[in-house]
Each structure stands twice: as structure tokens, then as C-alpha cells.
Amino acid sequence: MEPDEVQLRIGRSPLSNGIRVAGLHWKPIQQTSPATCHTRIFCIHGSLDNAASFNALAPLLTREGFEVFAMDLPGHGQSDHLHVYTADAYAVSCIQTLDALGWSHCFLCGHSLGQAIATKVAGSVPHRFAGVVLIDGLGQLILGAGQVYRRGAFAGRQPMEEAINKAGGIAQYKSESATLARIFALHSGVITSKKPKTYSSLEAAIDARLQSIDNLPNYQFMSRSSAAHMVRRGTSATNEGIIFLHDVRMVSVPDRVLEDKDAMDLISKLPPTLVLLADEKHTFPGIAESAETWLAALSSERRRSISLHKFPGQSHHLHLDSPGLLLPLILEFLRAQMPCHRPRL
């Protein structure tokens, strides 16, 4: 079943008409749980992706009775752009979208940048979420925890600071506060200037998306069908050619989605959480090490509420390339948080 296209307007005020937020809504194929059971899942995609990031996973969840909504973050996909992008702006847009949907309580799922935003949202208002699924990350990456592996001219093992410096040759990117989003933007063949680059065809745009993945740190990969999902949603045809719809200023996203002290506080307040990590050799450096560092810093009681699993051989977009591999763990986790599925004692 194809998802419904949704257009919402959030952030209205006497001084502003707010912004338009787009998304995809998958309705459950069959209702397998009582109406009182929490079966809604709100999904947040990663940097430069869009709601189609969940095109493979969401249908599998609907077959199990879950209702899924994935938003296009502001500046991504078919949502409006913002004047300035901040971590707070992203988090507020998510909460306002939930309010516009009328979802007062649900599950939350985030991938990459989306998992950091999900951490901020769920850690700020944990009472609104039955549980959280974080895909390839936990809170904030601790920069310097990993090292960058590059192909071609950047092949070999290098300290992150050196790799960033070589990649762009821009002095302000050499400090440890440089973000993965900036690394992505520097290495991406998609973001090249303040004016969107045009492509001769949709296939050429898909090629560019795959090349941007190929240029990322470590040996990351994505199937062509996965790239096609996001490119189809994230592009538009113009008289000049195909362009990507995301804000070309996304290179200026905030240096840190979460500051370390805030990340620790938010992670400690999360509702029950499932963390699913890609293979360290095929994703951004430091993700697994950062997640394990955050977990080690929690009290033993809080650690018991966060479950972490790794998937050897899987890359950063594992939920899009291999949703069936993640599904059993996700379903087991979701049902464990649902009163209607808990075994009676």
C-alpha cells in the first residue's frame, strides 16, 4: 500500500503564517491491537535525506498493525526552508508536527541526524513517547572518538581533524567542533554552491546521490533502489533540468546538534530505547564508540532501559537497505512497551 502525501502548516502565530511541513503517512494494513494500544510511530530522517528514508521499513511495520508518519524536516524534501537551522528549530518543528497530527503519545524513530533530534525531543518530553528507536547513533557523536577512512586521494587512516582540513582546505572546519553534517556537505557531490546543481535526468541525480555516499568517510554504500526512493521525493524538474529540493545552505547546519552536557542529560531521560548500529567499517567513524561511551556514563538502572545492537556488514542507511534485518528486533522492542502485549503476571 502506497503512503498518503501529507501537507501540514506548523508554527502559526499572529505575526507569522508558520511553515509548511510535508510527510508520508502509512496506515496500518490491519488493526492487530486494541484501540487503546500505542501503535503509532513518528519517524525523523537524516541530513540531506527525506521522509522516503523510511519507504522500506514503514510498510513492514504497517503489516504488523502500526501506523507510521515520516516527516520531511524543514529544509529537506518537500518541506519549507528556514532562515536559520538550529537544533532547537528542528526539535520544535517535530513537536509542532506531532501536535498538528494530533499525536499526543506514540513511538519515536530517528536515523542519523534524525536520531540526534529524536534524542533531544524524547529527552525533553519523555512522557509523550512509549519508546524510542535510534538508528546508527545515540545522541551526539563525540568528535575525535573515531578516525576517518577515505577512498581515492584520501585513502588510508587519518585523524579526523586532518581529514576535514584536507577535504575542504577551509580553516574553520579543522577544529573538533566541525560536524558530520559539514563533512557530508563537503564530500557530497550534491551540495556544490548556493545555487542548486542541475542534472540532465532523474537517473543522473541518482548517480550523484550514490557518488555522494561513495565519497563519505569509511566504505559506506547504498543500493541504487534505496537512493532512488529518496531522490524521487527530494528532486524537482525545472526548465534547466532536475534539481534537489533540499536547502543548499544545509552546509551551515549547527556545529553540534547536542552539546555533550546536554546530550548526557537528555539520554538519561529517554524512555525505553532501542539503538541499532551499522558496521563500524561502513558508517561514520566514532558512532559506535560514542554510543558505548554514553551508555557507560549512565547509571546501571538507566543502562537497563537502553538496548544496543550492531549489524555487521551493514552501512549507514541499514534501515533502507536491509529493513527485514532490523524488523524482528524493532517489533520485539515496540511490543514490549505496549501494555496490550505485555504478559500478565
- By three-state DSSP, how is residue 230 classified? helix
The pLDDT value given to residue 187: 40
Q: How far apart are CA 90 and CA 72, in angstroms?
A: 11
pTM of the model: 0.85
pLDDT of residue 149: 33
How does 20-35 read in b/e, with b if 16+ C-beta sit within 10 Å? ebbbbbbebeeeebee
Strand 129-135 relative to strand 106-111, pairing: parallel
Residue 192 has pLDDT above 60, yes or no: no
133 touches 57 (CB < 8 A): no
Number of other CB atoms surrounding residue 48 within 10 Å: 27
Q: Domain 4-143+256-341 adopts which CATH fold? A: Rossmann fold (3.40.50)
The DSSP bridge partners found for residue 237 are 242
Give residues with Cβ within 8 angstroms of 57, minimum separation 6. Answer: 319, 320, 323, 326, 327, 330
Inter-CA distances, 66 with 33, 38, 314, Å: 9, 9, 25
φ, ψ (nearest 5 deg) of residue 274: -115, 125
pLDDT > 60? residue 201: yes
Structure confidence at residue 216 as a pLDDT band (50, 70, 90): confident
CA distance 116 to 142: 12
Evaluate whether 100 touches 70 at the Cβ level (below 8 Å): no
Q: What number is the average pLDDT over the span 157-165?
A: 41
The pLDDT tens digits of the residues spanning 278-331 come to 999 999 999 999 999 999 999 999 999 999 999 999 999 999 999 999 999 999
Could you report the per-residue pLDDT of 21-56, keeping only the tens digit for each? 999 999 998 765 655 567 999 999 999 999 999 999
Q: Where are the domains of the chain?
A: 4-143+256-341, 148-252
Side-chain-facing half-sphere of 186: CA atoms under 13 Å: 18
Helix or strand (DSSP H, E) at 325: helix 323-336
pLDDT in tens, 163-187: 444 444 434 433 333 444 444 444 4
Contact assessment for residue 115 and residue 256, using Cβ atoms and an 8 Å cutoff: no
Helix, strand, coil content of the chain in percent (nearest 5)? 40, 20, 40
Please state the separation of Cα 31 from the chain's center in Å. 27
pLDDT on residue 196 = 86
Cα separation, 52 vs 50, in Å, equals: 5
